[in-house]
Amino acid sequence: MHLVSNVKRTFVHMEEAQFTHINHNGQSSMVDVTPKAITRRLARARALVTLPESVTQQMRDNELHLSKGPVFQTAILAGIMAAKKTGELIPLCHPLPLDHVTIEIHLEGHIATIISEARTEGKTGVEMEALTAASVAALTIYDMCKSLSHDIVISQIQLLEKSGGKRDFKRHA
């Protein structure tokens, strides 16, 4: 009985929450941000790329230098470019003028940790831009290293924090 009670409470809580991209007719809809105030927005995201030893053995001076070029530097550029195109890639995202995008990649053992940060001053957040940047940087690492191995795993793409909107968020480790 206790389990059923918890399930009902969870269901009621979920019913009260509303999806912001669905209108009153149940159709997909872009969120109207017209009444929102312009605020400073920030979001940070992370993606992990697990690389096999055959790839990490190529590491020199904090970079993987392959015939296609420097892997991490290329991934950083790809992630920044992707963040700027998020509104074109994700159907209901607003196109945003980004003030700043950074991507850092650190290799520890066999795991490349990608941290992206996006900033703007606007009426809507930059979570999707930060997540897109981390995702595309991870995919770029895969693309550049796949000739060495297909045993590359992209995982844990997640929002780490966001601020400046209705609710701030910070993931606790």
CA distance 57 to 51: 10
CA distance 103 to 125: 18
Retrieve residue 134's tokens: 């981390």
Scanning the structure block, which residue is given the tokens 């993987």? 64
- By annotation, the residues acting in catalysis are 143
CA distance 149 to 136: 19
CA distance 122 to 94: 11
CA distance 146 to 135: 16
CA distance 100 to 75: 17
